[in-house]
């Protein structure tokens, strides 16, 4: 996996950075930097920090400031106000579990790449109508999994997905084999006991195994603003 792209290369998508985007829940902001360094060392540069804990914004700030090889993003973004907060904190991409026109407009106006969440064909068609072709499919397993994505690949070949929700190392290869799946999101490389013990070496090993699930992507410097929505 290269660390950057030549200036003449086409804009890259957050979906193409690695086969797996770690979905990170940070309980203590002190853990954010060593955790991110372990993930990057294992080959997973795009890191989604979810806005599920009070420490999330501080975690985004710390990773953005101290781990230059990471491309830190914010997940569980559900309000326009959160868009401004996480971008100000240093988030370089946004992920939402679903979308509204108001949230979509805020994400588009932010100037950073974004992945709005979908779970139905109608939501996919509505986003395509609005010029968005890259999306989060959530909750992947509960919403139909690989069978569902395979079924919509024919009528909607222009849509690309990052499935998230209920995916682990055993099922990830099945998703990655689909033509409309570029990467998957998951947290299996961040077991709770390893995080609690601050066993960053174990997390790095698990991240490396996750990175090996698919073809190598582009380095974090290869992503341009708006890449996931154009």
Q: Which helix (DSSP H) or strand (DSSP E) does residue 116 occupy? A: none
Interacting residues of 82 by C-beta distance below 8 A, sequence separation 6+: 51, 74
Distance between terminal CA atoms of the chain?
24
DSSP assignment of 150-218 equals HHHHTT-TT-EEEEBSS--TTTHHHHHTSTTB--EEE-TTS-HHHHHTT-HHHHHHHHHHHHTTS----
What's the Rg (C-alpha) of the chain?
16
How many helical (H) and strand (E) elements, i.e. helices and strands, does the chain have?
A: 9, 9
* 44 three-class SS: coil
Q: What tokens does 225 get? A: 């603003």
Catalytic residue among 48, 66, 129, 204: 48
Catalytic residue among 66, 136, 150, 204: 136
Active-site residue flag, 150: no
Task: Using the structure block, give the residue that is written with the tokens 């961040």.
Answer: 190
Catalytically annotated residues:
48, 136
């Amino acid at each position: 996996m290269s660390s950057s792209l030549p200036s003449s290369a086409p804009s890259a998508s957050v979906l193409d950075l690695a086969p797996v985007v770690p979905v990170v829940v940070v309980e203590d902001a002190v853990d954010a930097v060593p955790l991110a360094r372990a993930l990057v060392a294992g080959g997973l540069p795009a890191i989604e920090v979810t806005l599920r804990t009070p420490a999330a914004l501080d975690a985004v700030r710390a990773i953005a400031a101290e781990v230059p090889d990471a491309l830190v993003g914010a997940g569980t973004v559900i309000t326009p106000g959160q868009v401004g907060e996480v971008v100000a904190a240093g988030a370089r991409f946004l992920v939402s579990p679903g979308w509204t026109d108001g949230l979509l407009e805020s994400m588009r106006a932010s100037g950073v790449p974004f992945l709005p969440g979908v779970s139905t064909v109608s939501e996919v068609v509505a986003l395509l109508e609005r010029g968005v072709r890259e999306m989060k499919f959530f909750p992947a397993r509960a919403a139909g999994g690989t069978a569902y994505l395979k079924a919509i690949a024919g009528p909607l070949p222009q849509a690309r997905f990052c499935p998230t929700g209920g995916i682990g190392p055993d099922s990830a290869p099945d998703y990655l084999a689909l033509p409309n799946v570029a990467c998957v999101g998951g947290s299996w490389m961040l077991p709770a006991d390893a995080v609690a013990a601050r066993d960053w070496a174990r997390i790095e090993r698990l991240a490396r195994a996750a990175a090996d699930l698919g073809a190598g992507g582009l380095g974090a410097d290869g992503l341009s603003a708006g890449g996931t929505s154009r």
